[in-house]
Amino acid sequence: MFSEKLDFSVSARGKSASNSVAAFLDIFFEDIPVKSIFAFREYTPLYGGRIYHGPELSETDIHWMYDHGIGYRIPLQNIVASRDEYVSSKPFLAKYHRKGNSVITARAELAKWIREDFPLFEVEASVINQVRTLDKLSDFLDNYDVVVLHPIMNDDLEALATIVDKSRVRLFVNAGCMYQCPTMECYGSISRMNKLIPNTEFKCAQHHLPDYAQSRLTTEGMTEFDTMALVNLGFTRFKRMRNKSNTAF
């Protein structure tokens, strides 16, 4: 078992709002101390990262999370975020504005607006920003409370060990196709789809790069990293996805 001092954030991807978050955690994440959940609630055009199909957490889920010391991380990773879209989403943000909750963004402007208007949120830089080097990490730490590193950085433990303020870094402990994707182009089309732009087509590197598509066919499930090795380096914040081989919940 992992120490309760560690901070695991997990994805509610695949969960229906009609199913209990307590049962969901017991089934898929019972072996780790979950401190926050990232998931969709009410619709906002600022959502990104993956396609919005509807709420994954219910109002009851949110209150259960608060009662159990689990925060809500709001995935506002749309790669285009206009001022008007932000203003229209302020009532949504106000509803969840409290200490212990956080927002994940891929746009510096959006992070700045949220920090100014909603100071209780912790603001995280999304993996969509592709922070793959220590120099880029340093730049992002100037503007964000926490930075999610691209999982490719888990391949270089020596570099990770040199990070001074490890408490402001979140690492993936498992990852899917994004880990080795050469383009990460899906995020652009997903951003457009979440804005409900008509005739938007989903784009993926597997559709036009045969070698990458073949490599995905021969890779089963998620890539799992050595979590204890990362803990032993001094990291405390982690992000864990539900294994895609699990049945739908």
Residue 179: pLDDT above 70? yes
Question: Reduced to 3 states, what is the DSSP secondary structure of residue 21?
Answer: helix
Residue holding tokens 């457009």? Answer: 192
What domains are defined for the chain? 7-176+222-240 (3.20.20.190)
How far from the centroid of its chain's Cα atoms is residue 52's Cα? Answer: 14
The residue-averaged pLDDT of 132-139 equals: 96
The answer to whether the CB of 205 falls within 8 A of the CB of 216 is no
Looking at the whole model, is its pTM more than 0.85? yes
The pLDDT mean for the chain works out to 93
Segment holding 10, helix H or strand E: strand 7-11
CA distance 38 to 70: 11
The residue-averaged pLDDT of 134-153 equals: 96
CA distance 217 to 235: 32
For the stretch 17-31, pLDDT in tens is: 999 999 999 999 999
Query: To the nearest 10°, the Cα dihedral for 129, 17, 120, 144?
Result: -10
For the stretch 187-219, pLDDT in tens is: 999 999 999 999 999 999 988 888 877 777 655
Residue 233: pLDDT above 50? yes
For the stretch 90-122, pLDDT in tens is: 999 999 999 999 999 999 999 999 999 999 999
CA distance 12 to 72: 11
CA distance 25 to 23: 5
pLDDT for res 87: 98
pLDDT for res 1: 66
The residue-averaged pLDDT of 230-245 equals: 89
The answer to whether the CB of 227 falls within 8 A of the CB of 115 is no
Residue 141: pLDDT above 60? yes
Question: Per the structure block, which two tokens stand in for 204?
Answer: 């993926």
Question: Per the structure block, which two tokens stand in for 82?
Answer: 């206009």
pLDDT for res 213: 79
pLDDT for res 249: 40
Per-residue confidence band for 244, with pLDDT thresholds at 50, 70 and 90: low
For the stretch 53-70, pLDDT in tens is: 999 999 999 999 999 999
Per-residue confidence band for 247, with pLDDT thresholds at 50, 70 and 90: very low
pLDDT for res 245: 47
